[in-house]
Amino acid sequence: MTRVPVRGTLLILLLVLATLAAGCAPRGGVANAGWTVVTATEDAVYSVLATGTIVAVDAVSGQELWRYPIAVERPGGIGAIFSRPDPDVPVPLQATYGEPVVAEGLLLAASLDGKVHALDRTTGEQAWDYEVEGGIVGGLTVEDGIAYFGTNENTVYALDIATQTLVWTQPFRTEGWVWSAPAVDAERVYIGTMGQRVYALDRDTGEEVWSFQASGALPGAPALTDGAVVIGSVDQHVYALDAATGDLRWAQPVGHWVMGQPLVLDEHVYVASLDGRVHALSVADGAPRWDAVSVERTVRAGPEALDGALVVANQAGELWRVDAATGERARLFPDVGEPGTGLGQEWTMLSSPSVTDGLVVSGTTSGIILALETEAGLAVERWIYNPS
Amino acid sequence: MENTNRPRVSPQQVRKSLLTWGIGAAVLVIVFTVGFDNIWREGVIRPMLNTLLFLYANLGHSFVVAIAVFTILLRLLTLPLSIKQVRSQRKVNAVQPQMQALQKKYAGNKEKLVQEQQRLYAEAGASPLTGCLPTLIQFPIWIGLYQSITSVLADTPIELLNLGQNIYTGVASLAEIIPLQSRFLWLNLALPDPSPFVLPVLVGGTMYLQQKLSMQSNASADPQQASMSNTMNLMMPLMFGYFTTQFASGLALYFVVFNIIGIALQWGIERYEGPATVSHVGEPALQTSPATNKDRVSYGTKRQRRKKKKR
């Protein structure tokens, strides 16, 4: 009888340790820690799923056109600790947070292992890979055949897509990680960093033109408008800087963190904050156009433009339309049920929707892609793509 | 005529059972109503995460110092339980000879044996299960701390999002320290030790030392139990050493500081109370008050002793 507690204790300890091991399985062992990102074109929708698989789906029918890699078999959890991948088998991308880009007949996507992946956009065959030091978190911005991107090793690169060579003699070094895609105009590259600094770089040389110190990290991409650079911060402010000099035009508090890219529409900036509110601010002075509107649940990504309105995806897996002029809101998907519940779907939406020709496409963390037609005013489900 | 075979149930036991079941039912209702995720988030993750942030912000922006102070605070919070654990273990071991004598005496009568053993434990003021309670309490702390560390050190946008949802927004200054400095010497505190043996050896070594100290003072008279303890003493450090190669090194630092405090605690109790009294097998059986030094080893609560005296 006296031995039972010791045996019981041993058994409980081993069971709990096993649970602990399973619950705390290392990040390196899980399949992928990214979220599903989408880019819609007239004929196809391209997506890097949260599992690291890239898919192309017919924009009209929702039929899968191709996927890369074709077969995916990655162990997860504690079993992954002991697994050794076969180097000859194409593997899914590491975590991807930035939307894929279509350019020069290629589909380009960047991943957390520091790779820029280029696939033939019509066949899905791998064209090339380019690897840099550090992880690429923010995705790519492509202008005139050059892909600009930053890394979490505090560097910014300019890569010539045609030749796969670096344009600048050396990458630009920043203070802090770069987690967002840059904004690019005719002369400069603008980029925010987690080191709380915004940089303007010369597009040709990669040299610093100016920098601005914010009071919080800047995880989202900047937006350009009317000679201003607008960017959101985790210090609960939206900043507008003079694009020529980097001087602060205004900083407007929004009550919570901003992690997504602001959207500029007709002299106004629209941003979404983590507390699930959408804000409309004047480009000129940051004054609110209307009182912030709630979409019920956390919004990680920035809004997208939709026929004079905004479309916003929230963490409950819902899509909302917010009138840009009045702030009036309406839920696009799902069209029934309590707001903020998402009807209990087993997914969330953490990336921006993609809008093209009245079609709103959004990717969910479970890999399901929704395509809604919005031309007639009410949203109509065109198709739902399920990778499984 | 009274039925002598009818089991007697004391009202106190009934009340105790009802209370236990009532508490259990209430806990179940709360879990189902509020949701386990919400309880875990509001009760464990958010307090831990914001405490770590607060300590980091106010202790020189050093995450190692924040973890060390956090561990000390947790140890202080669980100190009464830890002391109870050590003392309870000492009491359990102190009555081992009597326990063995009981086993011999009532080898053919299991029911009586159980009754006598329970009585012996009650009189000694010991409970074999008390010993593992503080250890069990540690598990949710470890899991919560692991999740808090990876979230606080947010090195991916998903973790930053998680942090943004869990941070107390009223404390605006906390947002200004993000992202936290996760580098310490050769370590990224959000990732496993790349060396990859320094922290595993430290964790395993300190754990082994702590258990060794504990075993020395609480040497069991029962060879089977002693053998089991020896196995545990070796297995646990090995397992934790291995886990350290997989977990965030910040969590490993927590284990190291935790073990060092445990060693100090064990040493302090040993020094204050002296070694536990363990009678040898073969001594007169059923000596229910075997204390050779009643100031050091308490057998029963005051209430129990008063009752006994009255009898």
pLDDT tens digits along B189-217: 878 888 878 889 999 999 888 888 776 65
Contact A332, A372 (CB under 8 A): yes
DSSP string, A279-319: EEEETTT--EEEEEEE-SS---SPPEEETTEEEEE-TTS-E
> A109-141: per-residue pLDDT in tens?
999 999 999 999 999 999 999 999 999 999 999
Contact A275/B at CB under 8 A: yes
Which residues of chain B neighbour A81 with C-beta distances below 8 Å? 246
DSSP code for B130 = G
pLDDT of residue B212: 80
Contact A304, A311 (CB under 8 A): yes
The encoded tokens of residue A297 equal: 């649940």
- A370 forms bridges with which residues in the sheet? A362, A384
ipTM of this predicted structure: 0.87
The residue whose two tokens read 């997989």 is B246
Question: Distance between CA atoms of B146 and B96, rounded to whole angstroms?
Answer: 38
pLDDT of residue B29: 87
Pick B114's closest partner by Cβ from A1, A236, A257. Answer: A1
- Residue A266 has phi, psi (to 5 degrees) of 45, 65
Contact A23, B143 (CB under 8 A): yes
Q: How large is the C-alpha radius of gyration of chain A?
A: 22
DSSP code for B231 = H
Question: Would the pLDDT of A171 be above 80?
Answer: yes
Contact A76/B at CB under 8 A: no
pLDDT band at residue A289 using 50, 70 and 90 as cut-offs: very high
> A15-61: per-residue pLDDT in tens?
666 555 544 444 433 345 789 999 999 999 999 999 899 999 999 99
Question: Distance between CA atoms of B299 and B122, rounded to whole angstroms?
Answer: 8
pLDDT of residue A281: 97
Contact A274/B at CB under 8 A: yes
**Nearest Cα residue in chain B from A3:** B225
User: Rounded mean pLDDT of A380-384?
Assistant: 89
pLDDT of residue B88: 75
Report CB contact under 8 Å: B164, A256: yes
Contact B301, B121 (CB under 8 A): no
Q: Return the minimum-mean-pLDDT range out of A152-161, A183-192, A237-246, B163-172.
A: B163-172
Report CB contact under 8 Å: B156, A112: yes
Q: What are the pLDDT tens digits along chain B (311 aa)?
A: 455 566 667 788 788 888 888 988 888 888 888 788 888 888 889 999 999 999 998 898 888 899 889 988 988 888 887 777 777 777 777 777 787 788 888 877 888 888 888 888 777 777 666 656 666 777 788 888 888 888 888 888 998 999 999 988 776 567 788 888 888 888 888 788 888 788 899 999 998 888 887 766 555 555 666 677 777 778 888 888 888 888 888 888 888 988 898 888 878 877 777 665 544 433 434 444 343 444 344 444 555 556 555 65
CA distance B90 to chain A (A): 14
Q: Which residues contact A344 (CB under 8 A, 6 or more apart)?
A: none
Residues A128, A131, A135, A138, Cα dihedral to 10°: -50
Strand, coil or helix: A259: coil
Contact B107/A at CB under 8 A: no
Amino acid at A229: V
Contact A77, A15 (CB under 8 A): no
